[in-house]
Amino acid sequence: MFQTAELGQALSKKEFKQQERVLRTHLLALQQEVRKRNQFPVLIDFAGVRGAGKGTSVNLLNKWMDARWIRTHAYDHPTDEESQRPAFWKFWRHLPPNGQIGIHMSGRYSRPLLDYVYGEINEFHFKRALRRINNFEKALADDGAMILKFWMHISKDVQKERLETLENDPLRKWRMSEIDWKHYEMYDRFIEAAEQIISVTNTGHAPWEIVEGQDYFYRSLRVGEIIQDRMERHLVSEEIRQKYLAEMRQRMEEKAETHENEGINTSLTIFDQVDLSKEITKKQYKKQLPVAQAQLANLHAQAVQKNISTILVFEGPDAAGKGGCIRQITEVLDARYFKVYPFSAPTEIERAHHYLWRFWSCIPMAGRMTIFDRSWYGRVLVERIEGFAGDDEWRRAFAEINDFEEQLIDSGIVLLKFWLQISKDEQLARFQSREEIEHKRWKLQDEDWRNRERWDEYNLAAHEMIQQTSVKDSPWILVENENKHFGRIQVLDAVCSALENALAD
């Protein structure tokens, strides 16, 4: 694989200067076109052999283009912020929004490569890490992102020269460390692992480009040329794809209209099994509540000490009682250690990112509890039903969500997903009561009435959501909340029992 990048490719300074002028004009124009279109982000990754020109290439790109719309990020040892969260949090964090260019060094490939070469992970975990990267890149590419990955290569002999030169240069010597020679000794192992990485993660939507890094002039121009070529192609393909998606959406809507009211008449959903008559008396509630709350407060304090994070997700129809359930929980917790995020329509900057981005940014540090009042599941509920997410988009969201939650759980987070269920009649009653009681009136919006009209559609979408995302390690908990007291105690008990289990591990 790499012998094709040990040919001694080189350019004279004169040739370079001549071609550089043309190239940078093109690149700048393309960057502005990407910015103007504002439809997709550009992600460029640099990996490769030490001394093969990653740093100089990144600097040149920043010089050639307008650095104001480039977000360069070199990953180093993870900060506290980073190490206390799932590994991919830091990659989501630094994603460029639509219209901008992100350039990343020592990014998502760095850790698996080092860990594998050092023998700290076996092949199973190495491949698993690569699969996770593939999922990440696929999710972004499916959403329109342009992704390009450079492997900068030099031979072992050339690397030796490079390191010696650096070592003997008094001005640049500080950039050398013992690790550089150690890695030089391990050159062959690095190359072997790199070959596996490229084989597994070289996809049509996120290709690797291997560039020979020996000659500054050659490699710089080559990198620029590849980016130019790729951006040109992506601008065209994305334009056509957007047209395709728009046509697809329109055709599907037409089809849906002609098909309305077809289909099997009997369509039971999982909610038909929910026994909404379950209840406890107010007296029982008053007795049980303080006990459960005290237990929760105690368990949460232990979780904080043991650095166990918790994520609670609340979904359900409007007026299902999410707010009340959340309040029962938070009112007994130390406010330093929990956060509640209510989600409605995404903001402008959120819309300029992948839909999961705004949820990733809320992932807590170790020991915290984070409560989502509505969540990423909006993708397969409201966004599906209102048509904000196209057919392909919400369908592939199930796999993306399972992958996302797997990452949360793998990192040790206690994840609980509650679906609060009420009957359609109860919803009406609660709406009416909101209209009547002044201090509750703000809660009721025109949108709520509109959603109510589509009750059955929401029910079916939620049924499918549960089917696709209720997995062993992260099942949905269906809460009968017709009687709020019953539901609240059920939620409190579930949280306590999950924390108990996690603390016992």
User: Where do contacts with a second copy occur on this chain (CB under 8 A)?
Assistant: 1, 3-5, 7-11, 15, 19, 123-124, 127-128, 131, 142, 192, 195-196, 199, 202-204, 207, 210, 218, 221-222, 225, 232-233, 236-237, 240-241, 243-244, 247-248, 251-252, 255, 263-270, 272-273, 391-392, 395-396, 398-399, 402, 463-464, 466-468, 470-472
Whichever of 35 and 396 has its CB closer to a second copy, that residue is 396
Q: Is 34 helix (H, G, I), strand (E, B) or coil?
A: helix
Residues 325, 495: Cα–Cα separation, whole Å: 11
Closest CA to 416 of 465, 374, 359, 473: 473
- Can you name the residues that pair with 149 across neighbouring β-strands? 45, 208
- Can you name the residues that pair with 480 across neighbouring β-strands? 421
User: Smallest distance, Å, CB 476 to a second copy?
Assistant: 9
Whichever of 329 and 462 has its CB closer to a second copy, that residue is 462
Q: How far is CA 231 from CA 133, 216, 223, 453, in A?
A: 22, 23, 12, 45
Whichever of 15 and 457 has its CB closer to a second copy, that residue is 15
Whichever of 153 and 300 has its CB closer to a second copy, that residue is 153
Whichever of 220 and 295 has its CB closer to a second copy, that residue is 220
Report yes or no: 228 and 30 within 8 Å, Cβ to Cβ: yes
User: Smallest distance, Å, CB 15 to a second copy?
Assistant: 7
Residues 138, 200: Cα–Cα separation, whole Å: 13
- Can you name the residues that pair with 369 across neighbouring β-strands? 310, 338
- The residue type of 129 is A
Whichever of 216 and 431 has its CB closer to a second copy, that residue is 216
Whichever of 18 and 433 has its CB closer to a second copy, that residue is 18
Structure-token pair, residue 217: 């002039």
Residues 391, 400: Cα–Cα separation, whole Å: 15
User: Which helix (H) or strand (E) segment is 310 a member of?
Assistant: strand 310-315
User: Smallest distance, Å, CB 112 to a second copy?
Assistant: 15
What backbone phi and psi angles, to 5 degrees, belong to 43? -120, 120
Based on the number of CB atoms within 10 Å of its own CB, is 184 exposed (0-12), middle (13-18) or buried (19 or more)?
middle
Structure-token pair, residue 429: 């009653």
Q: Is 288 helix (H, G, I), strand (E, B) or coil?
A: helix
User: Smallest distance, Å, CB 351 to a second copy?
Assistant: 21
User: Smallest distance, Å, CB 59 to a second copy?
Assistant: 20
User: Smallest distance, Å, CB 70 to a second copy?
Assistant: 23
User: Smallest distance, Å, CB 325 to a second copy?
Assistant: 22
